[in-house]
Structure 1
C-alpha cells in the first residue's frame, strides 16, 4: 500500500510553513532583543530565458538574513541617543583635533603565575602537551585527562529595512497616519534603542557607508542611528589563515628552504602544491596549519627528549620510559621558552648576529611555531566561547594583518575593540561581547561566529537544497521554498 501526496498539498504545506515562520519572525523582532545577520550571495540559474528587455545573465544577486536571540541577560535600554552623542558622524558635535588613543594591550592585563610564563605561553605549553597526548605515542595517552586549560549602499539600506520590516520593527508612526497603523499590525518603534547587525567585513563597510550617508538626516530612523555592527568572527578566522599563507607560502623565495612550510606540505600532499601555492582557500589552508603544526610540535618533543637523554631517540622510546607528569610539565615549559618565537627569545637580537653565528632555518621554525600557535589559540577561543582570550588575541593579529597588507581588517578590529570597551555603555558592551558567538549545537566546543551560521546553515541550504531543480530552479522558487529572510 502506497501513499500519494499531490503537488497542491505540498505547495499548501510550504505556504503554511512560510506563514508560521513569518509569524515567528514578527514575534521575535518585536521584542527588540534579537540581532540581525545578513549576507549578500549569488546564485547561478542556468534555466533563465533571455529576452530583449533583459539580457541573459543567469547570475542572480540575493540577500539572506537571520534573527538571532540575544542571550546572557540582555534587556532593553534606551542607549541610541547616548551613542549618537559620542559618534564621530554626528555633525552637531564640535570638531576635535584628534580622536583619543586607547591602549588595547591593557584591556586584559597579565596575572603573575608561579611558572613565570605569560598567559599566551601557558596556553602554548598546554597545546604542546595536548598534541603529544592526542597524536603522540599511545603510552602517553593516559595523561590526556590531566591536560586541562587553565554591492551598493542603496541596496544594503533596502536589505536592512526589509529585515526590520519582517519583524514589524520600524520608525515611530506619523501622527497623521495613526489610523492607518491601527488597521495594520502594530509596528514597534526602534527609535530609542539599538539593533545589533552581524556580518563580514564587506557587510561592515556597507553599513558604515549607510551611516555616513544618512548622518545629516533629521530623525534617528532616517540616520539609521539604531545600527550597531558586530564583526563576524568566522571571516576573521579565514583572514588569519590567509595571513599565514601570505607570510610563509605566497613569496616564492620562501619556498626554497628545505625547512619551509611549502617543503613540509609537499610530503603529505605532493599533488596539491600548485593549488596551495596559488589559491588554497580557507578549508585547505586550515588543514595545512593544523596538520603541519601538530607534526612540528611532536618533532619538538622528540628533539627536547633527546636533548635530555641521548637514549630517547624517538617519541616511542621516550614514552616507554614512562615519564612523570611533572617531567612532562617541565619539558612543555622548556619547549615554549626555546622553540617558539617571542617570550624569552629575542628574535631582533638573534637576527642581528653575523651570518656565521646564525641558524636561519631554526629561526624560521621558531616563527612557524609562533604563528601556528596564534592561529590554534584564536580557533580554540572561538570554538569554546572564550571571549576574553579572543579579545586578548586581537593586538598581535592586528599587527600581523598590517604587516601582510590586510589593512581593512586591522582597522576594523581596532575600531571594534575600541568601541566595545571605550564607547559603548556597559550593558551594550556586555550584550555585544557575550552574543558575538553562538552555539547552535550546544556542545562545549560548538561556539561559532554568527556569520558562520549565515554562511553554513542558511546560504548553503538556500543554494543547494531549496529552490527545486531543473527547469523549476528559479529565483521565485528559491524564495518560496526557503524559510529564510530573502528580499
Structure 2
C-alpha cells in the first residue's frame, strides 16, 4: 500500500484498505473487535481519529471496534531510556566517580561517545542486566552466582537473603532518612547506587515478566513505571499507558479484558522464556522489509520494497533450507554470546574500588540522581495539568538494529 502511516488520514486509509481486503461485512463491527498492537504514535493517531469520528452513526465509522494495545517492546525501550536519562545522561552524572556511567564504561570501553549521546537498546539492556548480576554477587560475597546455585539453597534461605538484600541495598521506605543525615554522615555515592539498584530491578522484573508471559505481574509493574515515566518527562507514555491500564481494569468487560491480556504477548519459538511483545514481531518484519531485503542503490525504491515484502518468508525459508542442507551451524542469525568473564571481573574490581555497596560517610558526587519513583508520584497526582509538558514523549535511543531485537 502506497499510504503514509505517519498521519491520521493515512492510518484510517490503511485500516479501511485492510478491512476491504478481508471483506468484512458491516454487521460484524457491531459485535466484535480487533486488537491493534503498535507504538506510541499508533496509539496517539488512533485516539485522535476516534475522537473526531465520535459523531458518526455506525460502529464501523466510529472505529470503536479497533482496540489499540501498547507494545511491550516499545515500553521496554522507553524504560531503559528512562534509566539512561536518570543515571547516565548529562555531563554532571558522567563526572561522578563510581557512578553508573563509569561502570557502563567498563562494559563498553570502545563506545564512550555512543553511550553518552545515543545508546542502542541492546547496550543499555545488557548493561543493566550485567550490573544487576554483579551487584548480587558483590552483596552475596560470591564471585559467581552459579556457585551459589550449585549449593542448592533452600527456598526459605533464598527468601530471607533476598529480603535482607532488598532492605539494605535498594532505595526503600527509609531512603529519605539517609538523605536527612548531616552532610558529614551522608554517603551520596551510595544513595545514587541504591536508586540505580531499585530502578534497574524494576526493569529486570519487567523484562523477566514479559519474557516468561507473566501478564498479570507485568501489568502491575507498569503501574510502577507510569510515575517513573512521568518524572523523566515521558508524559505521552504516562497518559496513554495509564489510560490503557485503567480501561483494562474498569472499562472493558471482563471477557474483553481477559482477551486483551491473553493476546498482549506472543511466543514465536514456543520456548518457556520466548514470549515477546507483538510489536517486537512487527519491528522484526519491518527490519527485514526496510533494511535487509530492501535493495541497494538505485533499486532501493518504495515500489521495490513493496514488491519484495511478500517474498520475505520465502527468502527466509531458502536461507533455512541452505543452512540445513549444507549443515551450516549455527542455524541462526544470532551471534555467539560474548565472553564477558574478564570484563565482569574488571567490573567487580571497579565496584570494590569505588565502594559502591558500602557506606563511606561524607562522600561527594558531582550530581545527585533524582528519585524518579517518588518524584513521579508527586507529579502524577498534580491537579494542574498545565504543569505537564505533553510534548516530551519521545525516546532518545538509537535506531533499531538486529542486535536490539535479539537482546530480548
Q: How far 1:474 sits from its partner (Å)?
A: 3.0
Q: 1:339 aligns with which of 156, 160, 169?
A: 169
Distance 1:324 1:153 in 2: 57
Is 2:15 the partner of 1:153? no
Match of 1:370 in 2: 198
Mark the runs of 5 or more structure 2 residues left unpaired by the alignment.
313-408
SS in 2 for 1:356: coil
| Compared CA separation, residues 328 and 424, structure 1 to 2 (3 A) | closer
Is 2:40 the partner of 1:201? yes
Task: Report if aligned partners of 2:40, 2:237 keep a CA contact under 8 Å in 1.
Answer: yes
Distance 1:257 1:465 in 2: 41
Match of 1:412 in 2: 240
Bigger fraction of residues in helix: 2
Distance 2:122 2:3 in 1: 25
Is 2:338 the partner of 1:483? no
SS in 1 for 2:121: helix
* Cα distance per residue 1:349-380 (max 9 Å; x no partner): 22112111211111111111111111100000
Q: How far 1:260 sits from its partner (Å)?
A: 0.5
The correspondence of residues 50-69 of structure 1 with structure 2, limited to 5 A, is none
Q: 1:401 aligns with which of 226, 229, 236?
A: 229
Q: How far 1:225 sits from its partner (Å)?
A: 2.2
Distance 1:319 1:442 in 2: 30
Distance 2:139 2:83 in 1: 20
Distance 1:339 1:446 in 2: 30
Is 2:214 the partner of 1:386? yes
The correspondence of residues 465-484 of structure 1 with structure 2, limited to 5 A, is 465-469=292-296, 471-483=298-310
Distance 2:182 2:129 in 1: 34
Match of 1:184 in 2: none
SS in 1 for 2:62: coil
In the superposition, the TM-score normalised over structure 1's length comes to: 0.59
Distance 1:251 1:274 in 2: 12
Task: Report if aligned partners of 1:164, 1:170 keep a CA contact under 8 Å in 2.
Answer: no
Q: How far 1:292 sits from its partner (Å)?
A: 2.0
Q: Which has the higher contact order (CA 8 A, sep 6+)?
A: 2
Match of 1:280 in 2: 119
Q: How far 1:480 sits from its partner (Å)?
A: 2.4
Q: How far 1:191 sits from its partner (Å)?
A: 3.1
Q: How far 1:331 sits from its partner (Å)?
A: 3.2
Is 2:353 the partner of 1:353? no
SS in 2 for 1:357: coil
The correspondence of residues 205-354 of structure 1 with structure 2, limited to 5 A, is 205-302=44-141, 315=143, 325-326=153-154, 330-342=160-172, 345-354=173-182
SS in 2 for 1:353: coil
Distance 2:279 2:230 in 1: 23
Match of 1:166 in 2: 21
| Compared CA separation, residues 334 and 454, structure 1 to 2 (3 A) | same
SS in 1 for 2:109: coil
| Compared CA separation, residues 395 and 218, structure 1 to 2 (3 A) | same
Task: Report if aligned partners of 1:467, 1:480 keep a CA contact under 8 Å in 2.
Answer: no
Q: How far 1:170 sits from its partner (Å)?
A: 4.8
Distance 1:418 1:394 in 2: 11
Distance 2:159 2:225 in 1: 28
Distance 1:467 1:274 in 2: 30
| Compared CA separation, residues 407 and 255, structure 1 to 2 (3 A) | same
SS in 2 for 1:266: helix
How many pairs does the alignment contain? 308
Is 2:266 the partner of 1:441? no
Distance 1:163 1:283 in 2: 33
Q: How far 1:195 sits from its partner (Å)?
A: 1.6
Bigger Rg, structure 1 or 2: 1
